[in-house]
Structure 1
């Protein structure tokens, strides 16, 4: 044992010396750009536990808003780690630098290896890049049509009226322990109709019929399927059941596609849901090489279905899958549902903004009529509330890219000067959406809910809730329309407030705000618990 200790000490010293030489080399390479040093990287142990300065970056690293940029005095800094290997992660909260990245897909592609686990049903628009992505995008984009936008609007009204008439009824006051219980089903029902042509009501038993796939099993266990190799899916009873559920899901999707293809114009009225749009695009005038194969069609449908699944699985907290492009609207239901949760929480905390929205609604609809699709652009303040909510709670706080070559990025420093930041080939890049949205250079008083900041001229390059450039979210308009209708329908009938609870009787406004707006960064930014009460106007 005594002879072993010197050997261990020697190895440790050699490791430290090696890392010191690497650090020195890195600092010269990046021209001594400000760094946030930690021992472990974000992709390893550092992303699974709470933050420990200089040791672990922490699982909420991308949700630290602008505080790290402020502390380091720069809107670009390098999160550098020593283990398991020396790594550089450029963190960007400068709009010029971000615009350069999203506008240069060849120099700054997405790290496609993060997305390869979702290829088990087939290639898709999420897990593709370059020419393959262009092909998927060309075929999938036409599915998001103007008739589909109108369908989203009408189905949202239908779902909300069903809630008002058949669930809430004539009650003057409705208390909700967590508003997610309302808005996650709402967005699920809307996308079920607008994407797959199946209407679900609030009184339906939303369970699969005999012989159909166990959707609950798939929704709870899909991340195990993504992470584990095929042989491991037979190790436990639960994993075996999950494997069977995925096999059934594949058969169900194949049958769904076959049934829709077999329908003729004489069988049913024209459908404008996304599934029909995708099938039309696949069977249109494209050449043989441009059309999707059956496996690719399954792959794209699956990533759309994946967006519908409820969150809650512990694995969900750590799996590094962030969608920066539309993936057939990937994450529409989750991100829209969560955005609505935050929007109504903010309206409850800031009643003056809620009343301003109500004044807009009664001005546009003095007779109490239902909003029509043509009214969408007239609801200016509702749009502003949505944008301000997305600024404060971007669905994905960090969007991953990497540098395919030695290059530079433009940045405005603290003195207002334009400078160039060197970026070595192979460096990871995170577009820090949260850091950008809370950057006080572009958003004064960024922690305060101020929808009016979106009514005049505002810094569009500093707003990135749906990513940007050619890989911006295909489902953006889908999400915006659903959100605007929901805000209008609820606020026209109800005044929303924070639910009174005895255990929080003495808290200040700031304490209440911190509690109600608490979040968990998962696949999308998720509210912990938002207890609200709705009182009929």
Structure 2
């Protein structure tokens, strides 16, 4: 990327006698409607083209997010993510408009910190270890239905696995209500993901309104969750349960107060929605990448048979680098202005970190077009690796997602041989917020015989 000179705005964005003018990165001179059309229809290609022209920071005006500074520089990204929360909030509009006002996506400042502290324990440490058996059971059950010797798309099967995992770990048991959630969560996530990438429409479009299906699913979800919360609260053995719902209901803030039922419902929706689609999509991308990199595939199989996982974890990180499911993380400026590198960005601007651009930058990752898990062996990812975002809003479920992907890939490689392919890489397909392989991660597998597989060290 070539550098570009900053632009000093002639508009005084600040107030007071000592107000200083904004210093914004350069940007295209095209009408905002054209900028917005390119961003909405071909987001990755548009951002890449603008970065080639303007460098690692540029200014645009786009639907949904309005006035935006896009950055693809790890130093500025780190600076943004460490900026105090009284100066920058979550990007606006946030996913809170889809997932609910009671979810962490909608909370700011002290409220966000309190909620994050409350919800961290169930998704980290020893708790996660307890959920590994659930992941193994769900993947093995799904994999028993897989055809052998015939190509099939892995995205939907992986979606079923990760949804069942999150349902079981959140609620701890099965039942009629969970069957209802299995039916409505996938279409609800699909509709919500598309809505998140569209501007709010101040009027109804009738039967064509994309919000209509989402709201119908949301009503069913709220009714179902209310039933599950009531059952949990009335469970005389609630304190013996280790599912996430039970832990949520028993958790208390430092002042002794608890989350309301509405807040619990919104947080559970965030876990169910965000907690299964991105993980499943990354797994589909991993399969897509591995069959096109047979040397890595062979090394992973050898490692699985030997009971190791170092290369497998590096492969997960390389998949996330080379095929990030989420391509942006952002903040909204609420201070008069903030300093970011050579720029001074005024109140009201969104700042988006272009994750895909950082991951594809040869200055950050040598030969970025090459799928090379070795780049993550024996090292900690640097500030340019941002599949989970960064700072105080880094994905709270990151550790859970890595555990889930590790278990699924281990069993997949233990029980199946993935047939290599010389087919072209699958194109990127936008599902709204997330990017998936266009053909769903097509693969052909063959079952390994028991004599060729190693004993599962976890039982």
Superposition TM-score, scaled by structure 2 size: 0.81
Q: Which moved more, 1:23-32 or 1:381-390?
A: 23-32
Matched residue, 2:227:
255
Residue 51 (structure 2) aligned to one of 60, 69, 76:
69
Structure 2: runs of 5 or more not aligned: 1-6, 13-19, 449-459
Does structure 2 conserve the Cα–Cα contact (< 8 Å) formed by 1:213 and 1:249?
no
Matched residue, 1:434:
356
Query: Is residue 2:305 matched to residue 1:362?
Result: yes
**Following the alignment from structure 2 to structure 1, what is the Cα–Cα distance between the partners of residues 210 and 380?**
51
Matched residue, 2:165:
190
- Aligned pairs for 1:129-208 within 5 A: 129-164=108-143, 166-168=144-146, 173-199=148-174, 207-208=179-180
- Aligned pairs for 1:452-531 within 5 A: 452-457=374-379, 460-497=382-419, 512-514=423-425, 516-520=426-430, 522-529=432-439, 530-531=441-442
Matched residue, 1:100:
79
**Following the alignment from structure 1 to structure 2, what is the Cα–Cα distance between the partners of residues 115 and 163?**
30
**Following the alignment from structure 1 to structure 2, what is the Cα–Cα distance between the partners of residues 66 and 302?**
33
CA RMSD of aligned residues (A): 3.8
Deviation at 1:136, TM superposition (A): 1.9
Q: 1:271 to 1:488 in 2, by over 3 A?
A: same
**Following the alignment from structure 1 to structure 2, what is the Cα–Cα distance between the partners of residues 184 and 235?**
28
Superposition TM-score, scaled by structure 1 size: 0.70
Matched residue, 1:60:
42
**Following the alignment from structure 1 to structure 2, what is the Cα–Cα distance between the partners of residues 143 and 399?**
24
- Aligned pairs for 1:1-400 within 5 A: 25=10, 33-40=25-32, 46-47=35-36, 49=37, 51=38, 57-62=39-44, 66-72=48-54, 74-79=55-60, 88-104=67-83, 105-118=85-98, 122-164=101-143, 166-168=144-146, 173-199=148-174, 207-208=179-180, 218=188, 232=204, 245-265=217-237, 270-282=240-252, 286-288=254-256, 290-305=257-272, 307=273, 331-364=274-307, 378-400=308-330
Structure showing greater radius of gyration is: 1
Does structure 1 conserve the Cα–Cα contact (< 8 Å) formed by 2:9 and 2:23?
no
Deviation at 1:89, TM superposition (A): 1.9
Query: How many residues end up aligned between the 2 structures?
Result: 430
Equivalent position SS for 2:444: strand
**Following the alignment from structure 1 to structure 2, what is the Cα–Cα distance between the partners of residues 426 and 301?**
30
Deviation at 1:119, TM superposition (A): 6.5
Does structure 1 conserve the Cα–Cα contact (< 8 Å) formed by 2:102 and 2:267?
yes
**Following the alignment from structure 2 to structure 1, what is the Cα–Cα distance between the partners of residues 141 and 344?**
56
Matched residue, 2:338:
407
**Following the alignment from structure 2 to structure 1, what is the Cα–Cα distance between the partners of residues 347 and 211?**
40
Deviations 1:353-408 (A, max 9, x none): 001111211222xxxxxxxxxxxxx5110010000000012221012212233232
Deviation at 1:194, TM superposition (A): 1.4
**Following the alignment from structure 1 to structure 2, what is the Cα–Cα distance between the partners of residues 194 and 391?**
27
Deviation at 1:250, TM superposition (A): 2.1
**Following the alignment from structure 1 to structure 2, what is the Cα–Cα distance between the partners of residues 458 and 263?**
43
**Following the alignment from structure 2 to structure 1, what is the Cα–Cα distance between the partners of residues 391 and 364?**
20
Equivalent position SS for 1:473: coil
Deviations 1:240-279 (A, max 9, x none): 88756544432321221111122223xx893322212211
Matched residue, 2:452:
none
Q: Which moved more, 1:234-243 or 1:136-145?
A: 234-243
Residue 423 (structure 1) aligned to one of 329, 335, 345:
345
Q: 1:71 to 1:248 in 2, by over 3 A?
A: closer
Q: 1:26 to 1:39 in 2, by over 3 A?
A: farther
**Following the alignment from structure 1 to structure 2, what is the Cα–Cα distance between the partners of residues 295 and 66?**
40
Deviations 1:164-219 (A, max 9, x none): 4x424xx7x3434311132111111111111221359xxx998539xx99667755
Equivalent position SS for 1:35: coil
Q: 1:296 to 1:101 in 2, by over 3 A?
A: same
Matched residue, 1:325:
none
